[in-house]
Amino acid sequence: MHMLVILFILLLVSFVLLVALSALVPKTSNTTNFELHRMADAGSEAAKFDLKRDESTQDISSLMKVAASVLLVLVVILSIAVFGWFTGAIIAAIAGFSYAPLGRTPFIRRKVADIYSHYEPQIIDFVLKHQKAIWWLRSVAPEIADTQIHSKDELEHLVQNAGNVLTDDQKKLLLGSIAFDTRLVRDIMTPRTMIESIKKSEILGPLILDALHKSGHSRFPVVASDIDHIVGTLYLRDVLKIDTSRKHTATVETAMDKHVYYIHEDQTLVHALNAFLKTHHHLFIVINEFRETVGILSLEDTMEALLGRKIVDEFDDHDDLRAVAARKAKAHHSTATEQDV
């Protein structure tokens, strides 16, 4: 009877230790090995301790895995010894499935971390003094790299908290690049209600030319009747090339670029950038699933999203292509010079 009590106590202790080992995550330094050596050479005791900690982490992880395996076997043997083959096997199976989830609970992890922190210096010293004796265990735990990044969120966090290592412009560029492939056209387009267009029948007289210059934009969607019937793009640079003798009689239709490219609002910015490079066009009409115009997207908009900073070309006075409201969407009719991208 006394023996069963002792075995039962050993079983409980083994299970508690198994849970504790699964909850334990040895600490590692967030500073690179190169920087730690530089700080240690400058006399930093904290850096010296972090170097010792990083040097022993793999051996400690190996010892933990071996100890966990031994304890798991011990739990199985003791369960059968105390409760018999059938009941003991069930209890051992329950223990095997439950110790890891228990170890992941915040309360247990916090308690185990507090206890480990108290004894960590002694554990590290012991491991470093007996490295030759435990070198054969190192294959049990994989080698730990200096830096491991597991998600975009983690990478963004590192960039945002880089301090003075990166300038604000460098941070914006890196953050824009990281998020670029997940952003959609609708996230950065100039919305329908802010598009400034011009009718193809307009005569490029003094009033129109003055209005174009004062708008602060370098390109304008050309419409046949409304914003859902776009037939081309008018570039301010092309207007300037018109013979002065014809400027008061030339219409927008004669000066516009008749190529119209459409892009869906759900497309990614990566797709949009590739389309800009392929078509050599600077302005896309953004449409929805019903082929209604919902906005416009410029090459500058896309590059700004990538670089994280505003781009203004030689003809632009504004940060983007936003201006006045347009009308409600209507059915769209394709022409020979219209393409989806």
**Distance set, CA 56 to CA 37, 78, 107, 145 (Å):** 16, 32, 26, 13
Question: Mean pLDDT for each consecutive 10-residue tract of the chain (341 residues)?
Answer: 83 90 81 77 86 81 84 88 84 86 90 89 85 63 48 72 78 81 90 90 83 82 90 86 66 88 94 92 92 92 82 50 37 52 69
How many Å separate Cα 207 from the centre of its chain? 48
Q: Which residue has the tokens 């850096």?
A: 47
> 19 near 103, Cβ under 8 Å?
yes
Number of domains in the chain: 2
User: What is the rounded CA–CA span in Å between residue 251 and residue 238?
Assistant: 12
59 occurs within a structural domain: yes
284 occurs within a structural domain: yes
Q: Check residue 126 and give its pLDDT.
A: 86
Same domain, 136 and 237: no
Same domain, 189 and 265: yes
Residue 73's CB: how many other CB atoms inside 10 A? 12
Q: Which is nearest to 98 in space by CA: 120, 79, 113?
A: 79
170 occurs within a structural domain: no
Residue 224's CB: how many other CB atoms inside 10 A? 15
109 occurs within a structural domain: yes
0.75 surpassed by pTM = no
Residue 30's CB: how many other CB atoms inside 10 A? 10
34 occurs within a structural domain: yes
Q: Check residue 242 and give its pLDDT.
A: 72
> 287 near 262, Cβ under 8 Å?
yes
Same domain, 314 and 214: yes
Q: Check residue 61 and give its pLDDT.
A: 81
Among the candidates 122, 148, 174, a domain finishes at 148
Q: Give me the domain span that covers residue 192.
A: 185-340
Q: Check residue 319 and give its pLDDT.
A: 44
- Residue type at 267? Q
Q: Which is nearest to 230 in space by CA: 275, 187, 192?
A: 192
User: What is the rounded CA–CA span in Å between residue 109 and residue 24?
Assistant: 7
166 occurs within a structural domain: no
Q: Check residue 324 and give its pLDDT.
A: 34
Spell out the alpha helix ranges (H) of the chain. 2-23, 33-41, 45-83, 85-103, 106-129, 131-134, 152-160, 168-180, 185-188, 206-215, 236-240, 252-255, 269-279, 299-307
